[in-house]
Amino acid sequence: MTDFKEIIAEKIYDESLGLSQQDIKGMIEIPADEKMGDYAFPCFRLAKVLRKAPQLIAADIAAKAGGSEAFAKVENVNAYVNFFIDRAYFAGEVVEEVNKLGPEYGRSDCGQGRKVIVEYSSPNIAKPFHIGHIRSTVIGNALYKLYDAVGYDVTRINHLGDYGTQFGKMIVAYRKWGSEEELAKEPIKALLGYYTRFHEEAKEHPELEDEARETFVRLEAGEPAELELWEKFRKLSLEEFNRVYDMLGITFDSYAGESFYSDKMPRFIQELKDTGLLVESQGAQIVDLEPYGLGAAMITKSDGSSLYVTRDIAAAVYRKEHYDFYKCIYVVASQQNLHFKQWKKVLQLMGYEWEKDCVHVPFGLVSLSDGDDIKMMSTREGRVVFLEDVLNTAVAKTADIMREKEVQGVDIDEVSREVGIGAVIFQELSNNKIKDYVFSWDKVLNFDGETGPYVQYTHARASSVLRKAAAAGVDVDSLGSIDASYLGSDSAYALAKLLYRVPEVVIEAAEKYEPSIVTRHLVDIAQSFNKFYHDEHILVDDEKERAAKLSLVKASKTVIANCLGLLGIAAPERM
């Protein structure tokens, strides 16, 4: 497709400006106000070099750059040169391109097949999957899809929290108060109960904490009795998690969690000793990062057992050796910023230069409103909202709405799942990931305005128009070469411009690790489509006009479905 910025840069370029064509291309802006054209070139910065008023420079450039088949008009306003694209030419090109590429539109090959790892979701075994876990899960999944779309070879890793002192606690509690039957019936609920009780009792009997730590030491040493229980907890938990992953339509290539690295750590502890990085402090082994303002990274506890950082070092090296990644992305809460800084610094000090290819992608905290207070979720204190409940409630509400509207010709069970779950995912991917938010049922169950159902509705609406046309005998699959002069209206043209930008939006979202960029653009497209739909009658009698408009509808439908797909959301034909 035509690269308009390139054409503009070519036209503007002149040795006397002291700028390369690439520099010029980078300076080209898209004006906020359409009246100012489709592209604009500001001349302020040239004033110094040319020692001339920017307004005059702009006038000169405008005079020189006028006239081209791609541009209807080149205009000078103040210090700007404004370029107006020929609407029909543009809309025709975009629609043709989208309809030619279909599901491929929006994809690119900047990644050139290089290896990327995305680590995400990573829940703690034996704890319920709550609304806080949705962030890493859904953001990570979208990043996987985005990186896949821009041409990388992506491996998805669920770095399960299946190790650590917490399992010592769980085992101690299970032995004291647990029962086989309870565990079989509702595993996570039972395990959570033991865990909660452990903490209550530990307030009175602090010696329980020591017992838990000892038990974890035995687990790490591979004692069969502890190992057997741990394996049972892990298996039962994973079965429950998979139920949620199935609902969300999410899968992984590897579930190698923390336990997977338990036997891979000694090598690095030795390496740290050999390089003199490891020092003893208060009975524990640490790497002193005080010179870097990062405190101390604890590698082994005074009882000799391992910690989070230790396991993450082992995991990173394993992945580098096993996958030889170009980039390794960790989708983990911002609460762990310090951990990741410490961990990267230790890797760097150890001489692993590829440490710079590991990126922590942090996201903000989900909290709960507790009366007048806003509090962090706490599994221990029973202050949680379960993700499965949220998904089920959203699905149930969707089914109610569909029954109320008496939607015809659909499987309500199937579509209400697509829409209800889509609503939850979309909501999660709407805002900048770094922002904290307070969970609210009202918000997650709102289906009006900038929501998933709104975008899906728009898709269903476009589908409906195409169905109507097909029923009237129009061959929607091959609309032929269209007469784009019918696509010159404000609303049609605005829509075409948004469709045009999709490939660059996808690339930007991947580069910035920010799925919400796609979500926002998708909302813009849906709004623009709905405006077009209201402004103009599509199924008109005139054959040529109808074909042109239908091909824009078809292109819009394709783009909406593709973008929803990148976010992990379905695009139903009817709802």
Restricted to residues 413-452, the positions that interact with RNA (CB under 7 A) are 419, 430-432, 434-437, 443, 446-450
State the nearest-atom distance from the C-beta of 538 to RNA, in Å.
3
Catalytic hit among 5, 25, 130, 344: 130
Residue from 10, 29, 271, 483 touching RNA (CB under 7 A): that is 29
The vertex-7 CA angle with 4 and 8, nearest 5°, equals 85
User: Do the beta carbons of residue 477 and residue 507 sit within 8 Å?
Assistant: no
State the nearest-atom distance from the C-beta of 392 to RNA, in Å.
16
The letter for the amino acid at 564 is: L
Contact range with RNA by CB under 7 A, out of 61-69, 127-135, 141-149, 291-299: 291-299
Residues 305-334 binding RNA (CB under 7 A) are 305, 307-308, 334
Q: How many whole angstroms separate alpha carbon 456 and alpha carbon 503?
A: 20
Residue window 46-85: x/- pattern of binding to RNA, with contact defined by CB under 7 A: -------------------------------xxxx-x---
Token pair for 34: 């359409």
User: Do the beta carbons of residue 197 and residue 380 sit within 8 Å?
Assistant: no
Please tell me whether residue 35 binds RNA under the rule CB under 7 A: yes
User: Do the beta carbons of residue 216 and residue 306 sit within 8 Å?
Assistant: no
DSSP H or E segment with residue 452: helix 452-471
**Closest CB to RNA among 154 and 429?**
429
Residues 449-488 binding RNA (CB under 7 A) are 449-450, 453-454, 457, 460-461, 463-465, 468
> Which residues have a Cβ under 8 Å from the Cβ of 236 and sit 6 or more positions away?
183, 187, 188, 191
**Residue 95: exposed, middle, or buried by beta-carbon count in 10 A (0-12, 13-18, 19+)?**
buried
Residues 336-355 binding RNA (CB under 7 A) are 336-339
Total interface residues for RNA by CB under 7 A: 96
First-to-last C-alpha distance (Å) of the chain: 34
Contact range with RNA by CB under 7 A, out of 148-156, 223-231, 398-406, 498-506: 398-406
Residue window 355-384: x/- pattern of binding to RNA, with contact defined by CB under 7 A: ---------xx-x------x-x--------
Which three-class secondary structure state does DSSP give residue 531? helix
Cβ–Cβ contacts within 10 Å for residue 63, how many? 11
- Catalytic residue check, 133: yes
State the nearest-atom distance from the C-beta of 104 to RNA, in Å.
25
Residue window 505-534: x/- pattern of binding to RNA, with contact defined by CB under 7 A: -----------xx--x--x--xx--xx-xx
Q: How many whole angstroms separate alpha carbon 162 and alpha carbon 172?
A: 16
Please tell me whether residue 36 binds RNA under the rule CB under 7 A: yes
Q: How many whole angstroms separate alpha carbon 521 and alpha carbon 525?
A: 6
Residues 125-154 binding RNA (CB under 7 A) are none
Q: What are the residue numbers of the active site? A: 127, 130, 133
